Amino acid sequence: MPTVSRSRRMKRIHLRNLKASLQMTRGITVGSAVVLLVLVACQTSPPSATDLEARLPDDAGVVTLVSLEQIEVDGEKSYPVSEDLESFTTGDHTVRPILSWKDRYVHLGVEDGVVQWVAGIGIVASDPPRVLYAGVFERLEEERRAVFRDGTVLALAEGVSPPSKGSEALATIDPSNDLVISLKVQ
């Protein structure tokens, strides 16, 4: 049964992408399409800090179960996954398959109970469980939330001081309470 629903879903996604491609190419000459492809292929620079907005997660945790239809964090919170899910790494925003997040610490963007985006934060090291995240610190917002240049937002535990703006920092996260317990300048 899951194979049938996955197959139907993949066909819907393929048809949607095909329709979008046809709509995009309608009215474009071959010459302008080639120029457009060359321009896109030559664009190698990552998004600038001004292009990235802070992503305040609706939930966070270690992915304990994951499929193309559902994701579970911390062994207790389970969510359906949007057909238009965005799944990416935090540092360089590389697109990653949702299935790759099993046993990793992630942030989730949830709307109406459905996961819209998954941002992979890091690997969980054990005994005690800790997650390391490296990024460039931008600012501290209300409720002791540290915002990093790549858009990642992490909550700081009491006693953890933020570095100066533009500092490369290494955050140690306690996944049991989703708080940064250490923030060191690299």
- At residue 110, does pLDDT exceed 90? yes
How far apart, in whole angstroms, are the C-alpha atoms of residue 11 and residue 9? 5
Residues 89 and 8 in one domain: no
Angle among Cα 137, 139, 144 to the nearest 5 degrees reads 105
- The pLDDT of residue 87 is above 60: yes
pLDDT value of residue 111: 97
Q: Is residue 105 part of a domain?
A: yes
Contact between 102 and 120 under an 8 Å Cβ cutoff? The reply is no
Structure tokens at 57: 């997660």
Same domain, 105 and 170: yes
Residues 29 and 83 in one domain: no
Same domain, 147 and 116: yes
- Rounded distance between C-alpha atoms, residue 53 and residue 117, angstroms: 14
What is the 8-class DSSP label of residue 69?
S
Average pLDDT over residues 84-113: 95
Average pLDDT over residues 114-127: 94
* Residues 29-52, mean pLDDT to the nearest whole number: 40
89 and 145 both lie in a single domain: yes
Length of the chain: 186
Lookup: tokens for 85 = 């899910």
pLDDT of 45 strictly over 50: no
Taking residues 142-170, what's their average pLDDT? 95
Domain that holds residue 21: 2-42
